[in-house]
Amino acid sequence: MKIEYLGHSAFQIITEEGMKILIDPFISGNPVCTTPVETLNPDVILVTHGHVDHFGDTLEIANNSGATVISTHEIATFVQKQGLNAIGMNIGGTVNVNNLISVQMVNALHSSGLDFLEDMEEGGVASGFVITLENGKKIYHAGDTGLFGDMKMVIGDIYQPDISMLPIGDKFTMGIEDAAIAAGWLQSRIVIPMHYNTFEAIEQDPNLFAKYVEDESLGTFTLIMQPGEDYEEE
């Protein structure tokens, strides 16, 4: 399994079977992203909420690649209206893709308007995803969110993700202190910080986050990725 970090909250996961899962593809407008949008050819695109720094280039990439977009019912309906493939779901639900992976939609404490439209449309509730790969490994992408108790009670204790991607930028999401508490609750083997240092408003020191994580959870390794960087494991 390979995880590619595209900057901000955009990741691509490539599974053992070669399936490409693109999450929150904010690419062309993303000042730290080095990946050209036309090189992306995913099988599925997961969109956590409607904000432009997450929905990003979803329409163009889905159009180029034929990828299916998986998001809230409201965002999926918007994508379908553009003539593209989308699966709508809601919090708590799970969708299986090609009998290889499953995607469960989980809570996020945030908003979800389609803010890039001239007349902002509602994107439903904001969400996160717990993705279960063919080998049973689970990856949690928190989307944009504040700290909430079900990160411990539901996502940590019950779903038990192996790897968690957490926003640390503050202002619009958790900052580093709260994100470190989340890491302690989740008890993942690896946490990857995201949603920071893209813009001035969300400047953070990921090394300080890593130090706080160490205080909250000894068994958790903080993997700080640079945009364009990959991480690979069995």
Residues that bind Mn ion (CB under 5 A): 53, 144
Q: Shortest approach of Mn ion to residue 51 CB, angstroms?
A: 5
Of Ni ion, Mn ion, none, which one does residue 170 interact with (CB within 5 to 8 Å by kind)? none
Q: Shortest approach of Mn ion to residue 128 CB, angstroms?
A: 12
**Separation of first and last alpha carbons in the chain:** 6
Of Ni ion, Mn ion, none, which one does residue 74 interact with (CB within 5 to 8 Å by kind)? none
Of Ni ion, Mn ion, none, which one does residue 4 interact with (CB within 5 to 8 Å by kind)? none
Give Cβ neighbours of residue 142 (< 8 Å, ≥ 6 apart).
108, 128, 151, 164, 165, 166, 167, 182
Q: Shortest approach of Mn ion to residue 198 CB, angstroms?
A: 9
In the complex with Ni ion, which residue's Cβ is closer, 43 or 144? 144
Of Ni ion, Mn ion, none, which one does residue 24 interact with (CB within 5 to 8 Å by kind)? none
In the complex with Mn ion, which residue's Cβ is closer, 51 or 137? 51
Strands 44-46 and 20-23: parallel
Q: Shortest approach of Ni ion to residue 144 CB, angstroms?
A: 4
Residue among 209, 198, 230, 201 nearest 54 (CA): 198
Give Cβ neighbours of residue 228 (< 8 Å, ≥ 6 apart).
4, 5, 6, 7, 33, 34, 35
Q: Shortest approach of Mn ion to residue 168 CB, angstroms?
A: 12
Contact of 216 with 181, CB cutoff 8 Å: yes
In the complex with Ni ion, which residue's Cβ is closer, 97 or 146? 146
Contact of 113 with 123, CB cutoff 8 Å: yes
In the complex with Mn ion, which residue's Cβ is closer, 144 or 178? 144
Residue among 192, 199, 204, 213 nearest 11 (CA): 192
In the complex with Ni ion, which residue's Cβ is closer, 1 or 33? 33
Give Cβ neighbours of residue 230 (< 8 Å, ≥ 6 apart).
2, 3, 4, 5
Q: Residue numbers of the site for Ni ion (CB under 5 A)?
A: 51, 144
Of Mn ion, Ni ion, none, which one does residue 216 interact with (CB within 5 to 8 Å by kind)? none
